[in-house]
Amino acid sequence: MATSLERDKEAVLQALAPYPQGRGVKLILYGSHARQEAGRGSDLDLALLGPNRAYGPGAEEDG
């Protein structure tokens, strides 16, 4: 049976599949997990940064 961490990892990889991969693209973990203060109900806070723009919720769209 998959652990919670394994399920979270798989969900993140599936969510990132449509975004560019490779050089200059960074996935940043921030928040309680990054500070090693996460509790059982903590969510994952992730930022996906490209060389020329940010991707994901709240990112500005190119005009």
CA distance 26 to 63: 23
Q: pLDDT, tens digit, for every residue of 42-59?
A: 888 888 787 776 666 666
Counted domains in the chain: 1
Tell me the average pLDDT across 4-28.
78
Query: Would the pLDDT of 28 be above 60?
Result: yes
pTM for the structure as a whole? 0.57
Average model confidence (pLDDT) for the chain? 77
Residue 22 within any structural domain of the chain? yes
Name the residue among 58, 32, 56 with its Cα closest to residue 44: 32
- What's the pLDDT at 47? 86
CA angle, corner 45, sides to 44 and 51, nearest 5? 130
What's the domain range around 23?
4-55
Residue 62 within any structural domain of the chain? no
How many beta carbons lie within 10 A of that of residue 54, not counting itself?
11
Residue 48 within any structural domain of the chain? yes
Residue 29 within any structural domain of the chain? yes
Residue 60 within any structural domain of the chain? no
* 44 beta partners: none
Tell me the average pLDDT across 23-45.
85
Residue 33 within any structural domain of the chain? yes
Q: In this structure, what are the phi and psi dihedrals at residue 4, rounded to the nearest 5 degrees?
A: -60, -40
